[in-house]
Amino acid sequence: MLEVAFAGAIPARDLIHGWARLNLASPYANLAITLNLGWLAVVLYADAIVSPFGTGLVYAAALPRSLYAFRQNGYLSRALQRVNRYGAPNIGIALSFIVGVLFLLPFPSWQKMVGILSSATIIADMIGPVAAATLRRTAPDVPRPFRARGLVILAPIGFVVGGLIEYWSGWDVNWWMGVLLLVGSCSIQLGDIACSAVRVKTSDWRSGSYPISAPSRFSPGSVPAASAA
């Protein structure tokens, strides 16, 4: 509905030369200014600052806790399990800051980084349907407070839709995803070898390698062109 409202609100005079000539650096804010809604443009620009800040706070808390959980499961270094008097993992927070700074270095623009992080979120969401369907078969008797209905149909659809979104993201985004996933997997593997009491089976690593190889499946030429017929 938001897209329909946006398309319908664009003045006809701005479309004389077609959609290809329409250049809006900040589409909704520019449209608000065009319609003499200055206050709305101010709200939109303020939201563009506040919303990423809120998301950043969420991830700043999530990554240290994720690293803490990795250690609780027997992976990575014991140092990640140390917490301060407030119950927060100090080393995890510091490592989260370093990772965040490193993420800003290789990307040429903010839009590029947002695209890659959005693609990473899609890959993370694609794991859910596969894991849920697998657990239905491998652990059918485990008590489940909530049991999604129609998972046999919804899980494959969700995975396929996620794959299509990855494909539509383009190779410029997907090759970055492959590199980041490879670095993350190697880090976990090294932590598993050096610091872990738990040893992951080779078959498990082989099965988990799909997210790394998935971006390469969306590279130029990986999908055969449709025949002329």
- Which residue segment(s) compose the domain that 161 sits in? 109-222
Question: Is there a domain that residue 48 lies in?
Answer: no
Percentage of the chain lying above the pLDDT 90 cut: 0
Residue 89 counted as domain residue:
no
pLDDT value at position 84? 84
Contact 42, 28 (CB under 8 A): no
Q: Look at residue 2 and tell me whether its pLDDT is greater than 70.
A: no
Cα–Cα distance measured from residue 180 to residue 70, given in angstroms and rounded to the nearest whole number = 18
pLDDT greater than 80 at residue 68: yes
Assign 3-state DSSP to the chain and report helix, strand, coil percentages, each to 5: 70, 0, 30
- In this predicted structure, which of 24-38, 130-144, 161-175 has the lowest mean pLDDT? 24-38
Report the distance separating Cα 176 and Cα 109, nearest Å. 14
Per-residue pLDDT at 219: 52
Q: Residue 218: pLDDT above 60?
A: no
Q: Is residue 156 part of a domain?
A: yes
Would you say 45 and 26 are in contact if contact means Cβ atoms under 8 Å apart?
Answer: yes
CA distances from 36 to 15, 22, 185, 210 (A): 18, 18, 51, 51
Residue 18 belongs to a domain: no
Least confident of 81-85, 100-104, 206-210: 206-210
What confidence score (pLDDT) does residue 139 get?
A: 86
What integer is the mean pLDDT of 57-66? 84
Q: Assign residue 18 a region (left: φ > 0; alpha: ψ between -120 and 50; beta: otherwise).
A: left
Q: What is the CA radius of gyration of the chain?
A: 22
Question: Taking 70 as the threshold, does the pLDDT of residue 185 lie above it?
Answer: yes
**Do the domain assignments include residue 78?**
no
C-alpha dihedral (195, 201, 202, 206), degrees to nearest 10 = -100
Alpha-carbon torsion 147, 150, 151, 152, what sign? positive
- 139: in domain: yes
Specify the long-range contacts of residues 6-9, CB closer than 8 Å, at least 24 apart: 6/31, 9/35
Does the pLDDT value for residue 12 go beyond 80?
no
pLDDT higher than 50, residue 225: no
Domain count, the chain: 1
Kindly state whether residue 186 falls inside one of the protein's structural domains. Answer: yes
> Which comes out higher in pLDDT, residue 145 or 196?
145
Note whether residue 209 is domain-resident: yes
Q: Percent of the chain having pLDDT more than 70?
A: 76
pLDDT, the chain, mean: 76
The model's pTM: 0.58
Does residue 227 carry a pLDDT above 60? no
